[in-house]
């Protein structure tokens, strides 16, 4: 599942992505591809009978929009 990407040169076979100039730095390419975000960890909690508890696990969250990625 491709959410965002960028390419230089020929259009990829799938036709997805944003065309960019071939001389971008890696940091510029990350921005153009929409991949200039980081993974953050946040403690997972749950509510039971009105009380909040930490599960001991952490959620992996995308820093750009708070999307849940996975847990550890």
Closest CA to 35 of 26, 44, 23: 26
pLDDT at residue 72, rounded to an integer: 82
Domain map (residue ranges) of the chain: 1-36, 38-72
State both tokens at 71.
Answer: 């847990």
Say if strands 51-62 and 68-71 run parallel, antiparallel, or are unpaired: antiparallel
Compute and round to an integer the Cα radius of gyration of the chain: 18
pLDDT at residue 48, rounded to an integer: 95
Beta bridge partners of 39: 62
How do the pLDDT tens digits run along the chain, 72 residues long? 788 999 999 999 999 999 999 999 999 999 999 999 999 999 999 999 999 999 999 999 999 999 999 988
- Per the listing, tokens 């990407």 go with 5
pLDDT at residue 7, rounded to an integer: 95
51: left (phi over 0), alpha (psi -120 to 50) or beta: beta
pLDDT at residue 22, rounded to an integer: 95
């Amino acid at each position: 599942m491709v959410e965002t990407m960028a390419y230089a040169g020929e259009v990829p076979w799938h036709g997805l992505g944003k065309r960019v100039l071939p001389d971008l730095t890696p940091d510029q390419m990350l921005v153009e591809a929409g991949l200039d975000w980081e993974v953050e960890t946040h403690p997972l909690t749950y509510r039971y009978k009105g009380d909040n508890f930490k599960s001991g696990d952490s959620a992996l969250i995308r820093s750009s929009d708070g999307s849940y990625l996975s847990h550890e």
